[in-house]
Amino acid sequence: MSFLFGSRSSKTFKPKKNIPEGSHQYELLKHAEATLGSGNLRQAVQLPEGEDLNEWIAVNTVDFFNQINMLYGTITEFCTESSCSVMSAGPRYEYHWADGTNIKKPIKCSAPKYIDYLMTWVQDQLDDETLFPSKIGVPFPKNFMSVAKTILKRLFRVYAHIYHQHFDSVMQLQEEAHLNTSFKHFIFFVQEFNLIDRRELAPLQDLIEKLGSKDR
């Protein structure tokens, strides 16, 4: 949540996505922040009693977008066309971009370009009222869960790139506690609702196991 971040983080990579104050989703976000403050992340990610699963996933997806936006915003100066000419997460994993509409055939591109495509694409999904309805009583579409899963799968790749290629910079900036807390929250959330295929998580599998074992 936003309270985790220091002064540098006022710089975001893309504009922050706000949830309208006074809305039910805003109340859910406040609930999530309060339970996160308790320190028990496994409990904090659980669906609150009586709440709609789609809405809970929507609110948290927006929040993770904002968190990753801030985290990547702190290291953009180190993630350049020359330092990261491909979008990778260590030597074994490389990502090529396609969104199915504007770019149908996956293209190889630099990490800053890929992340720009990715965050712009996510933003477009979050701003689409037919996919992410913000008004009470407007139903979520039938394909909502598959869209949310794709968004979260892609956001994971930004975490994976930051950990593999820029962790030294994160440590220099003393942002590693923020990054670790944010990623742990993200992983516990996707595990709770089975939102990302285990194979997709492979680039950070060791870290995921380490974070999970600390919590048992």
Is 155 inside a domain boundary? yes
Per-residue model confidence (pLDDT) at position 27: 77
Is 103 inside a domain boundary? yes
**CATH number of residue 118's parent domain:** 1.20.140.30
Is 12 inside a domain boundary? no
Could you tell me the pTM of the whole model?
0.88
Which pair of structure tokens corresponds to residue 43?
A: 């409990």
Per-residue pLDDT of the chain (216 residues; tens, 9 = 90+): 333 333 334 456 677 777 777 677 777 777 777 766 666 888 889 999 999 999 999 999 999 999 999 999 999 999 999 999 999 999 999 999 998 888 999 999 999 999 999 999 999 999 999 999 988 788 999 999 999 999 999 999 999 999 999 999 999 999 988 899 999 999 999 999 999 999 999 999 999 999 887 665
Contact present, 19 and 64 (Cβ < 8 Å): no
- Give residue 117's domain range: 63-213
Name the DSSP class of 45: T
Give the residue ranges of the annotated binding site for Zn(2+).
79, 84, 161, 166
Residue-by-residue DSSP string for 63-126: HHHHHHHHHHHHHGGGS-TTTTSSEESSTT-EE-B--SSS--S-B---HHHHHHHHHHHHHHHH
Per-residue model confidence (pLDDT) at position 11: 54
Is 152 inside a domain boundary? yes
Domain total in the chain? 1
Is 144 inside a domain boundary? yes
